Amino acid sequence: MTGVFVVGSINQDFVLSVERRPDPGETVTDAQLSKGNGGKGANQAAAAALLGADVKLLGRVGDDGLGQPLVEALADKGVDTSLIQAAPDWSTGTAFITVTPDGENAITVAPGANRSLSPDDIDEALGSIGGARVLVAQMEVPPEVVLRAVEVATRQGTRALVNLAPPTRVARELLEKVDPIVVNEHEAAFLLENDVEGVDGALSAAPELLALGPKSVVITLGGNGAVFSDGASAKHVASPEVEVVDTTGAGDAFVGALAVQLARAASLEDAVAYAVRAGAAAVTKEGAQGALPTPETLEAF
C-alpha cells in the first residue's frame, strides 16, 4: 500500500538572492542566480519520501530539456515517478523566486505543463489513489483536477489533505471532503474574506474555517508554528527557534511531514507537532527540495 499519493506541480526554480526587492519601475543589480528543483507537488512528495513514507506522485513536465532532470531527482529521493509524463507541446513549469537576506521570499510561477493535468488523468490513477492512506493535493494544478482527486480518494477511504496554495476559489463539495485543509494566514484570510494574523487570529479563524465544511483545519504561522482544530477546540503548536536562511520550502516540508504522520495513523495534534519541526528545519537551509529534512535532521529539533 502506498502511504502517500501526491497530485501536484513540478517546477524548475530560478532563485535570485538580492539585498532587497525592487520597487515598481526600479532595477536592482548584483543579484545571485541559482537553480533548484521545485513545484509544490514535487516538494511535498520529496518531503514525505525523505521522511520515510512510500510516496507516488502524479504530475506533468514539459517536453523540453528541463523536465526529465526534475523527474530523475525525485526518483533519487525515493518518490515513485511512474505516473509522471512529459506533456507534448508544453513547457515545464517554472518558478522565479526572490529571496532577501532575512530569508523571506516572493514567488512568481509560470505553470506550464502543470496545467495539462486533467480529471481523466485522475480516473486513470484510481487504483493507486485508492491504495494510498493519504492523498495530498495543492492548487498549482487545475482546480477540477484537485476536486476529482479528492472525490476519488474519499470514495475509496483515502484521507484527503488539501493545501490551498496558492489561494484559489474551490467548491464547497471539495471542502466538505477534506481532512484536513492546510492554509497559511494569507490563505485563511482569502477563504474567510477577513484578516487572519498571528496565533490569536488563527485560533479565532479555525472554527470559522471548519464551518466551511472541512473535517479538520491546520493554519501554518511561519515562525509561530501552527494552529489546528478537528472540531473540538483549536490548539496552538509552537515552533522551535531557528536561524532563518530561506523560507521557500518551509510550507511544503510541513505538508509532507504532516501527510507522513497521518499516513501512520498519528493524531492530528501529533502530526502537526512533527510537521512544525519539519518546517523549522527547512528554513535553516537554502532552496526548496535541497532544504527538506530527513528523520536524522529532525532529531536536532
Here the cell at position 69 is 532532470
> What whole-number distance in Å separates Cα of residue 252 and Cα of residue 57?
14
Contact 271, 12 (CB under 8 A): no
> What whole-number distance in Å separates Cα of residue 106 and Cα of residue 15?
10
Q: Quick check: is 123 catalytic?
A: no
143 three-class SS: helix
Q: What is the sign of the dihedral through the CA atoms of 260, 263, 268 and 269?
A: negative
Catalytic pick from 123, 179, 252, 270? 252
Here the cell at position 228 is 489546528
> What whole-number distance in Å separates Cα of residue 301 and Cα of residue 299?
5
Task: Report which of 135, 175, 164, 179 is spatially closest to residue 6, judged by C-alpha positions.
Answer: 135
Angle between helices 40-50 and 67-76 (to 10 degrees): 20
- 484521507: which residue's cell? 159
> What whole-number distance in Å separates Cα of residue 301 and Cα of residue 291?
15
* Catalytic residue set: 252
